[in-house]
């Protein structure tokens, strides 16, 4: 079952992913995802999540800031803490590199009945919920 799900997932991603526009590493995409999905993210959190050194995580973040995808904000409660946030451009870049192309997805879904489309959405919802 696991192999079948992975095969289907990679087919879906391959066929429905938007065309790559900017050059961005997988590591950078993962960092942008972390910043989007979690409320308070610091460089320390990135280093732990990706199993890299603090210095390496810091260098990655420096590039993301330089590209205009991330900005830093010092905590009001503890000035030693610096939180990372996505810029609007960072959100757009993340969307283009992690979501499916809406036009391609709509074309694929239009080939299904309304009931089949709802089953697809429900399956993704269930998998999303149990993955958290």
Residues near 12 by beta carbon (within 8 Å), at least 6 away in sequence: 100
Residue 132: alpha-carbon gap to chain centroid: 14
pTM of the model: 0.81
Instruction: Provide the pLDDT for residue 68.
Output: 96
Class assignment of domain 19-99? Answer: mainly alpha
Q: Who contacts 84 (Cβ-Cβ below 8 Å, separation ≥6)?
A: 35, 41, 42, 43, 46, 61, 70, 71, 72, 73
Q: How confident is the model at residue 71, as a pLDDT?
A: 97
Q: What is the mean pLDDT of the segment spanning 85-110?
A: 94
CA neighbours within 13 Å on the CB side: how many for 19?
Answer: 2
β-pair partners for 84: 72
């Amino acid at each position: 079952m696991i192999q079948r799900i992975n095969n289907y997932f990679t087919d879906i991603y391959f066929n429905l992913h938007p065309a790559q526009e900017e050059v961005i590493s997988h590591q950078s995409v993962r960092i942008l995802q972390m910043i989007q999905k979690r409320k308070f993210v610091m460089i320390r959190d990135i280093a732990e999540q990706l199993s890299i050194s603090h210095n390496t995580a810091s260098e990655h973040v420096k590039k993301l800031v330089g590209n205009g995808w991330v900005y830093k904000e010092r905590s009001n409660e503890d000035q030693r803490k610096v939180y990372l946030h996505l810029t609007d451009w960072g959100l757009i870049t993340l969307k283009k590199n992690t979501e499916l192309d809406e036009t391609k997805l709509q074309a694929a879904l239009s080939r299904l009945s309304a009931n089949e489309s709802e089953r697809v959405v429900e399956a993704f919802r269930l998998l999303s919920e149990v993955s958290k």
